[in-house]
Amino acid sequence: MTAMTAWQSLREHHAAVKNRSISELFEKDKDRARFSAICGDMLFDFSKTNIDDEILDRLIDLAGQAGLADRRAAMFAGDAINETEGRAVLHTALRNLDSPILVDGRDILGPARATRARLIRFAGDIRAGRIAGQGGRITDVVNIGIGGSDLGPAMACLALRPYADGPRCHFVSNVDAAHVHDTLAPLNPRTTLVIVASKTFTTIETMTNARTARDWMAASVADPATQFAAVSTDAARTAAFGIAPERVFGFDDWVGGRYSLWGPIGLPLMLAIGADAFGDFLAGGAAMDRHFRETPARANLPVLLALTGIWHNQICGHATRAVLPYDQRLSRLPAYLQQLEMESNGKRVAMDGTDLGEHSGPVVWGEPGTNGQHAFYQLIHQGTRIVPCEFLLAREGHEPGLAHQHRLLAANCLAQSEALMRGRSLAEARALMAARGLRGAERERQARHRVFPGNRPSTTLLYPRLTPFSLGRIIALYEHRVFVEGVILGINSFDQWGVELGKELALTMEPILAGRQPATGKDASTRMLLRYLAKGPASGS
């Protein structure tokens, strides 16, 4: 079967089963829960979807026709699978630096090992007070970055807060002055370390915030550069900024920004939880790598998660997916996955530059439960569009004295997935209203408002506890999911040209706003907006 006929086969099968009830699948198949898989003590359940054995076989055939096995082997071998930029994709290597990767007979991981050793020493010296600020021991760390230099470490530091015994970590990303001002305002500049995370040290938002932070620190610290570090590959620019070379940590171009938490971009996390716990985080990612490489497709969590996504988005036509962690400390995970998935697979052309024959990745969004239940779950349950949901839940929390609250949290998570699948029929709603004493037309009207269509798909990922090891597995799981979906779609998941045009145009807007250049060549709408920002409302063009 070719890839084209595999797509067509899936569409034909979907047309035949699209109105089938997921609940009825459970009634007819007492072993329906077999549509699940395990990685160690992590369980992925996709049985509450419309996927059956035949669909799964066809999805696996589709992945095979796309060359998933060969593409996966090429990634782990260090081949330049990022073809538009001519780069290898080796963020996975950062999780297991002990295994050499030879390119032209040279182990390319040597510099990464040396950098890891320097990071461990630096983080240890900060945490032990051997490196201090001019006001004493470092109490706070401010990471200034954007995109992959911010979302990953910010998400992970919050997720692993129970393990944080180092300096408090804060994150600044937005060039909006409110972000840097409100973050720095309560801190003591004399006991604060600032990390500037920018590979090129030219990212305009990051460097603007970095200069603001340096000015803030200079008001209280004689030599503010002594309380700065950088994650960057540009030694000349970091030196010009005043940062000592021993406090500059670079990484190779085979690590993309949104995949970089495992290396120097993870410095804030290492400072917060220590090198040993950070090692556990890496070990979790490496464990998922082994599972991804060695496990057959029908039991392979990243493959199954990706195939479920392909089924829902490209075959069923559901344009969005909701990521719903029932874990407050994973509240930044949906935002992290927004970038990971939408920047990776939000493409319109295939690897060879031709237009895609299928829609690319979905819109990814979400919030932690149970908060979302009192917000957007209304649309998920009773709206006119189907939103596949991805629930995440730990078996236990970090607060043993509040175990009853975790049980309530878990009960809500499981109840929501069941409610999405089962729904409530009009007959059931009529009976409910009749029990409340309603009759006739009013009973009918009220009943219709209480109908839940049901038959709405969801998956659930369970793990024992949100530990560094568990978090590493979760992030690696989603990274590989993105990779598999990208391979099936035939796109390059590791470039991001879509971020370039807006940045280029912003450089032309700032001189106009500053009054240094005219708005020549700008459209009427943009000229009107520019005039408003310069001097207030204006009519016409």
417 with 392: CB under 8 angstroms?
Answer: no
Nearest to 225 by CA among 202, 200, 195, 264: 195
Pair type for strands 42-45 and 458-463: antiparallel
181 is catalytic: no
How far is the C-alpha of 244 from the C-alpha of 228, rounded, in Å?
8
* Residue 329 token pair: 């400390």
Q: In what order do the strands lie in the sheet with 168-172?
A: 168-172, 140-144, 192-197, 228-231, 248-249
442 is catalytic: no
How far is the C-alpha of 282 from the C-alpha of 15, rounded, in Å?
43
Catalytic, out of 18, 399, 503, 510: 503
Q: CB within 8 A of 252, min separation 6: which ones?
A: 90, 108, 111, 112, 233
Sole residue written with tokens 């559901």: 318
19 with 71: CB under 8 angstroms?
Answer: no
What does the DSSP 8-state code read for residue 225?
A: G
How far is the C-alpha of 361 from the C-alpha of 487, rounded, in Å?
12
Sole residue written with tokens 């996927």: 51
Sign, CA dihedral 260-266-267-270, equals negative
Burial of 470 (0-12, 13-18, 19+ CB in 10 A): buried
Catalytic, out of 205, 341, 343, 479: 343
374 is catalytic: yes
* Beta-carbon count within 10 A of 159 CB: 27
Maximum pairwise Cα distance, the chain: 82
- Give Rg (Cα) of the chain: 26
Find the DSSP H helices in 173-265: 177-184, 204-218, 235-241
Catalytic, out of 374, 404, 449, 535: 374
Catalytic site residues? 343, 374, 503
